Amino acid sequence: MSLEIIQIIEDDPVQAGALDRALRKASYRTNVAHDGQTGIEDVKRLLPALILLDLMLPDMDGREVCRLIRRDPKTQDIPIIMLTGLGSEEHCVAALDHGADDYIVKPFKQAELTARVKAVLRRTHPPVHQKNECLDEGLVLEEDQFVAVFRGQRVILSGQEWRLLRRLTGSDGQVVPREELSALLWGEDGLIHEHELDRCIQTLSQKLADDAVFSGSIVMAPGGGYQLSTLHP
């Protein structure tokens, strides 16, 4: 995945041009599509570092574009920032529920745009300080490829799933509060991503179950929070 290209999917040529200029000024490379289908094709071809996706497109709803990108294994982990002129809490939560990592309400200033882009890239492309991390007997988490290895069995994870598993495994079976897990993935904006946290936990649990790596499971604790049951071969 390129860490340089940002895909813009915006039908308004004036808005698309403004986004393009702002990002290039911030030293990012860009690619622009003016409809959802072209945007999806560009994303599959370029595998950009991040996608700026307008909610209202001429051929399909931006949330549908987001859903299709998330459904493709090759593009499902690319971070998406939704651009919306609908600033109600309902529309913003809906964007997150459909798989967006963040959203920006129009009109917005260039400084806000670049700050949010940098923040999302920091969360989804963290610096690698240690490639292999052993957190439990027989369990190794490979950070450079976001892989969990347990007694020789490998499971490929997304960056968010990898960080969740590392935190839960490192808690020694103790409950980790929802707020802490949300902040781990989304920083200060974690509280507005609670629905997305549940989706990430569910996907991670399903991957572990499908690959028969762990006999334990991730469970929701009474009163909120999650914990990882004891790992067994």
Pick from 202, 207, 200: nearest CA to 219: 202
The reported pTM is 0.56
- Banded pLDDT at 189 (limits 50, 70, 90): low
Please state the length of the chain.
Answer: 233
What is the per-residue pLDDT for 7? 96
- Are residues 144 and 128 in contact, defined by beta-carbon separation less than 8 angstroms? yes
In Å, how far are 32, 196, 217, 222 from 227, measured between CA atoms? Answer: 42, 17, 8, 11
What is the per-residue pLDDT for 13? 93
What is the per-residue pLDDT for 181? 85
* Residue ranges of domains in the chain, CATH in brackets: 5-124 (3.40.50.2300), 132-228 (1.10.10.10)
Which is more confident, 177 or 98?
177
* Paired tokens of 82: 């939704």
What is the per-residue pLDDT for 233? 45
**Highest-confidence segment of 8-12, 82-86, 101-105, 152-156:** 8-12
Q: Is the pLDDT of residue 9 over 70?
A: yes
Whether residue 13 is preceded by a cis peptide bond, meaning omega within 30 degrees of 0, is no
Lowest mean per-residue pLDDT among 21-35, 124-138, 204-218: 124-138
What is the per-residue pLDDT for 211? 57
Q: Is the pLDDT of residue 12 over 80?
A: yes
Lowest mean per-residue pLDDT among 18-27, 42-51, 122-131, 164-173: 122-131
Q: Is the pLDDT of residue 103 over 60?
A: yes
d(CA 197, CA 220): 12
Helical H segments across 55-151, by residue range: 62-71, 89-97, 110-124
What is the per-residue pLDDT for 172? 75
